[in-house]
Amino acid sequence: MPGRSAKSAAPSGVALLIDAIDFAAFKHREQTRKGRTKTPYINHPVGLARVLAVEGGVTDVATLAAAVLHDTIEDTKTTAAELERRFGRTVADVVVEVTDVKMQRKRTRKALQIQHAPRLSERAKLVKLADKICNLRDVVARPPADWPLERKQEYFDWAARVVEGLGRVHPTLEKEFAKVAAQREKLK
């Protein structure tokens, strides 16, 4: 994997974001999404950054980099220390905030996301909101093949509880979430 020397400082600005995209692409290189089309996993974190920047007008590079990296600890062999060394403490801290502990049962992880949502930093709330928008869009357009209607509806209900716990973080993206969440009634 390409990278900077251990002694160089974390990049900033556009360089930080491009480095985060490169890093995430490498880490997720063999993963695909659960949908029927098995899209490359990297499309998901890049999609989060797109939702934040293009739809939400978010320009904070640390938030955008954290969005791209949000699943690296959870779904790859990446550590928080590795992210901190490469991208700085701010980005690493946001990724840690939105990371589920995979050793816990799925039901526990889901309950903890609801419980922790109000206490997340503003950056982490933005990443979490974008994640839920992207995930609901995927459940509508490209649902996992083995998910029956009931599971899709339960996912929508759970995502709504997480987003409700975030509070008022970004009115434009909250409206977008509400628009996507309204598609629950159209699920098949």
For 185, counting Cβ atoms within 10 Å of its Cβ (0-12 exposed, 13-18 middle, 19+ buried), the class is exposed
Query: Are the beta carbons of 64 and 53 closer than 8 angstroms?
Result: yes
Topology of domain 13-186, CATH:
Hypothetical protein af1432 (1.10.3210)
Cβ contacts of residue 74 below 8 Å, gap of 6+? 99, 100, 102
pTM score, two decimals? 0.93
Q: How many CB atoms lie within 10 A of CB 164?
A: 13
Query: Tens of pLDDT along the chain (188 residues)?
Result: 555 544 457 788 999 999 999 999 999 999 999 888 889 999 999 999 999 999 999 999 999 999 999 999 999 999 999 999 999 999 999 999 999 988 899 999 999 999 999 999 999 999 999 999 999 999 999 999 899 999 999 999 999 999 999 999 999 999 999 999 999 998 98
- The one catalytic residue in 55, 74, 82, 93 is 74
Give the C-alpha separation, 67 to 51, whole Å.
10
- The one catalytic residue in 22, 55, 60, 75 is 75
Our answer to whether residue 75 is catalytic in this structure is: yes
pLDDT digit string, tens, across residues 84-95: 999 999 999 999
Query: Are the beta carbons of 139 and 156 closer than 8 angstroms?
Result: yes
Our answer to whether residue 100 is catalytic in this structure is: no
Helix (H) or strand (E) holding 82: helix 80-87
Residue ranges covered by each domain of the chain: 13-186
pLDDT digit string, tens, across residues 2-15: 555 444 577 889 99
